């Protein structure tokens, strides 16, 4: 970053926000340098496969929430344009890219293969989906040699209502690892906010009850990104599978690198920043990059909402 700045190749557009490639109006690569931290925190306008194929160091954790491919996208039906969740769409960030339901399987195979190649030995791929799609993720990951670790069920505050079957009331988290399950290269820290066994020992369950991770919805009147996750949900997973810095057995080690190739509204980005690990995110929606910058910098630089970076209208009043 220092070199790019000296060479005039990085342009500061906000406190802490530097455009490394592209223009402030259409940034292709953005770095955040804030809160006295100069370690890697970068966002790129790229498809998931492009981002994962172009990585210059292996990831410790790829934690992501790809588009669901259920034909609902940003809350409007693709076929009729009808609103399905009764939201105020003027307050929802535009440009969310979904994947056609019929292409979901091939789409999943290609980005999961790219993710497997981008992991270090012992690194984790953790994918959040609805229950309908989790099987495709696990099959695609096993097909490219990743090892099954866990499948968590996490209760949603708002079940997806359907008339002719049970309402979908949980997310699935598919956890896969590069290498053997009992490899010492794997990291697993039972999240500190999960209940313990009566003896006081960690006994982290794979079933997180409805409401346990909170909800993502913005307060009335606030701008929100479609299908964003609750921050506690992302934070627990980042804590479980990362090391924030050096330790007795890793003197001088850098914080782990977390990658989210479908960054959306930046919940994983924010969780990574709060944990003190490095982060690389990508999305095909330029508004996702702008929203994520605004969300993270607002949290760290100034408690008062910043004007919108990168030429977007002000994105003030974001919730966590
Ligand atoms: C479910 S959202 C992610 C939400 C995010 N986890 C959050 O909490 O805000 C999925 C994102 O993937 C993006 N997307 C869709 N297709 C993509 C692709 N091929 N490569 C990268 N991003 C893509 C969408 O624009 C959307 O922002």
Looking at the domain assignment, is residue 116 inside a domain?
Answer: yes
First to last CA, the chain: 27
What residues make up the domain containing 219? 47-282
CATH number at residue 143: 3.40.50.150
Looking at the domain assignment, is residue 273 inside a domain?
Answer: yes
Give me ligand 1 centre to Cα 97, in Å: 7
What single string gives the DSSP state of each residue in 225-237?
Answer: -TTPPPHHHHHHH
Question: Atom 1 (ligand 1): residue with closest C-alpha?
Answer: 67
When pLDDT is averaged across residues 14-18 and rounded to a whole number, the result is 78
Q: Please give the pLDDT value at position 211.
A: 86
Looking at the domain assignment, is residue 160 inside a domain?
Answer: yes
| Alpha carbon 66 to its chain's center | 9
Burial tier of 261 (Cβ tally within 10 Å: 0-12, 13-18, 19+): buried
Does residue 228 register a pLDDT over 50? yes
Q: Please give the pLDDT value at position 214.
A: 86
CA-closest candidate to residue 59, choices 250, 288, 238, 299? 238
When pLDDT is averaged across residues 93-104 and rounded to a whole number, the result is 94
Looking at the domain assignment, is residue 41 inside a domain?
Answer: no
- Residues 6 or more apart in contact with residue 230 via CB below 8 angstroms: 213, 214, 215, 216, 267
Q: Which of the four pLDDT bands, split at 50, 70 and 90, describes residue 233?
A: very high
DSSP-based three-state secondary structure for 269: helix
DSSP-based three-state secondary structure for 5: helix
Kindly report which listed range (14-28, 73-87, 117-131) carries the lowest average pLDDT score: 73-87
Question: Atom 12 (ligand 1): residue with closest C-alpha?
Answer: 262
Does residue 121 register a pLDDT over 90? yes
DSSP-based three-state secondary structure for 113: helix
Looking at the domain assignment, is residue 110 inside a domain?
Answer: yes
Kindly report which listed range (149-153, 173-177, 274-278) carries the lowest average pLDDT score: 274-278
Q: Which of the four pLDDT bands, split at 50, 70 and 90, describes residue 77?
A: very low
Give me ligand 1 centre to Cα 292, in Å: 12
Question: Atom 3 (ligand 1): residue with closest C-alpha?
Answer: 264
- Residues 6 or more apart in contact with residue 196 via CB below 8 angstroms: 202, 203
Does residue 36 register a pLDDT over 70? no
When comparing pLDDT for 225 and 13, which is higher? 225
Looking at the domain assignment, is residue 140 inside a domain?
Answer: yes
Does residue 24 register a pLDDT over 90? no
Looking at the domain assignment, is residue 15 inside a domain?
Answer: no
> What are the pocket residues of ligand 1 if the criterion is a CB atom closer than 6 Å to any ligand atom?
47-48, 65-67, 96-97, 99, 225, 227-229, 261-262, 264-265, 267-268, 282-285, 288
Burial tier of 269 (Cβ tally within 10 Å: 0-12, 13-18, 19+): buried
Q: How many domains does the chain have?
A: 1
Query: What are the structure tokens assigned to 96, written together?
Result: 């969310």
Q: Please give the pLDDT value at position 146.
A: 98
- Do 13 and 289 form a contact (C-beta atoms < 8 A)? no
- Mutation test of ligand 1: which of 51, 171, 264, 320 has the most ligand atoms closer than 8 Å to its C-beta? 264
Looking at the domain assignment, is residue 287 inside a domain?
Answer: no
When comparing pLDDT for 154 and 5, which is higher? 154
Ramachandran angles phi, psi of 25, nearest 5°: -75, -30
């Amino acid at each position: 970053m220092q070199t790019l700045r000296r060479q005039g190749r990085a342009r500061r557009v906000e406190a802490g926000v530097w455009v490394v490639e592209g223009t402030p109006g259409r940034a292709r690569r953005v770095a955040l340098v804030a809160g006295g931290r100069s370690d890697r925190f970068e966002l790129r306008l790229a498809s998931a496969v492009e981002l994962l194929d172009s990585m210059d160091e292996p990831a410790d954790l790829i934690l992501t929430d790809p588009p669901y491919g259920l034909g609902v996208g940003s809350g409007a039906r693709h076929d009729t344009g009808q609103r399905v969740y009764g939201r105020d769409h003027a307050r929802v960030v535009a440009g969310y890219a979904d994947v056609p339901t019929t292409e979901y399987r091939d789409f999943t195979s290609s980005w999961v293969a790219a993710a497997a190649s981008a992991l270090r030995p012992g690194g984790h791929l953790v994918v959040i989906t609805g229950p309908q799609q989790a099987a495709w993720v696990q099959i695609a990951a096993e097909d490219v040699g990743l090892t099954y670790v866990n499948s968590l069920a996490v209760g949603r505050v708002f079940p997806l209502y359907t008339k002719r079957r049970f309402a979908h009331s949980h997310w699935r988290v598919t956890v896969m690892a590069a290498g053997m399950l009992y490899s010492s290269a794997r990291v697993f820290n039972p999240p500190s906010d999960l209940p313990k066994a009566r003896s006081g020992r960690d006994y982290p369950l794979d079933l997180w009850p409805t409401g346990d991770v909170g909800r993502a919805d913005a307060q009335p009147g606030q701008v929100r990104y479609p299908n964003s996750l609750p921050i506690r949900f992302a934070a627990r997973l980042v804590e479980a599978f990362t090391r924030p810095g050096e330790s007795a057995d890793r003197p001088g080690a850098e914080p782990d690198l977390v990658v989210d190739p479908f960054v959306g509204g930046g919940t994983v980005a924010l969780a990574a920043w709060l944990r003190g690990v490095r982060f690389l995110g990508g999305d095909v929606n330029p508004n996702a990059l702008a929203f994520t910058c605004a969300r993270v910098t607002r949290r760290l630089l100034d408690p008062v909402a910043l004007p919108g970076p990168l030429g977007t209208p002000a994105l003030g009043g974001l919730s966590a």
